[in-house]
Amino acid sequence: TAGTSGAVGELVNASFETGNTTGWTVAPAEALVAKHVYVQWPAGGSSVPDGNYELSTWHQTAAFATEISQTVTGLEDGTYTFKAYFTRGDGFNEVSLFARNCGGAEVTPETIPLTDPTQWLAVSLAGIEVAGGSCEVGVRVDSNPENWMNADLFTFEKEE
């Protein structure tokens, strides 16, 4: 499973196979308590790109904004790509991949497009300049009630 070893320079719990968000920071933390962000088995008999679990965001009655991120350390200086697989419904204000505090030029977040309910789409944020050994990467979600998003198999790899 990609990125699950927790070795230096790799994402921890990249496919959420711990069954929770271990290794990731959810901000605000109340998003976990309110169940805006959670880890689940795929709903409706669908599958996931890797393993058995997926990261999900949804709430029936509340609008919310959250970030799920991780700071990767021990990185060689260079250019990296942050990638994940997504499936999501319509109506969001924003769903995007981001990288920040990487020591190089800031990169514009990559918007995650609308998909069919059972379609997993790979979305990449390329050209992330890392200098100084660390980089924070994640996904930002600004949701209206009943908007859903699922994510799986996050990777952060040095470009050739």
Tens-digit pLDDT profile for the chain (160 aa)? Answer: 444 444 456 899 999 999 999 999 999 999 999 999 999 998 766 789 999 999 999 999 999 999 999 999 999 999 999 999 999 999 999 999 999 999 999 999 999 999 988 889 999 999 999 999 999 999 999 999 999 999 999 999 999 8
Distance CA 59, CA 114 (A): 18
52 — alpha (psi -120 to 50), left (phi > 0) or beta?
alpha
> Is there a contact between 96 and 149 (Cβ–Cβ < 8 Å)?
no
> DSSP 3-state assignment of 137?
strand
pLDDT at position 104 is: 94
pLDDT at position 106 is: 94
pLDDT at position 116 is: 87
> DSSP 3-state assignment of 45?
helix
> Is there a contact between 152 and 61 (Cβ–Cβ < 8 Å)?
no
pLDDT at position 10 is: 84
**pTM attached to this predicted model:** 0.92
Residue 137, classified by CB atoms within 10 Å of its CB into exposed (0-12), middle (13-18) or buried (19+), is: buried
